[in-house]
Amino acid sequence: MTELLVSGLASPRLLSYTYDMPRPSSPSDEIRINARLTGEDARRFRELQRREDMSASDLLRDALREYHAMRLKPRTDAATLLESSGFLGGGEGPADLSTRYKSYLTDTLEDKVPLRVSEPKPDDYRG
């Protein structure tokens, strides 16, 4: 059996919780839990017990239920999370954009600003 020493009380008290695999004589849907809480964990446990006016078993049951519910929430893929948050950085384009982005950028910029500066032809000069 594991014991829990709770300090900060007039006299230190030992709390014991036991976890055993179901015994043949006990129902299969019942287990015993033995946990050792020390320091801040023990303080938090006692604080919650006092504040909620709960037995150790009830507090552990509630904590397990909350933990279980939190862990079983369906996980959403990244694209769905971004879409639901209003992500504005997405876009559409060619399938090979991630590998040929430089050539696409060069082509687009060349259409807007020529890469070569051409000298005016002598007959274009107005003087």
pLDDT at 116: 67
pLDDT in tens, the chain (127 residues): 444 444 444 445 555 555 555 555 555 678 888 888 999 999 999 999 999 999 999 999 999 999 998 888 777 788 888 888 877 676 788 888 889 989 988 888 887 876 666 676 776 555 5
pLDDT at 2: 40
pLDDT at 12: 52
pLDDT at 1: 41
pLDDT at 90: 65
pLDDT at 8: 47
Per DSSP, the three-state class of 28 is coil
* Domain range list for the chain: 2-71
Secondary structure letter of residue 122 according to DSSP: G
Opening angle at CA 46, ends 40 and 47, nearest 5: 85
CA 8/CA 6 separation, integer angstroms: 7
pLDDT at 98: 84
Per-position b or e across 61-98, b if 16+ CB within 10 A of its CB? eeeeeeeeeeeeeeeeeeeeeeeeeeeeeeeeeeeeee
Per the confidence metrics, is the pTM higher than 0.75?
A: no
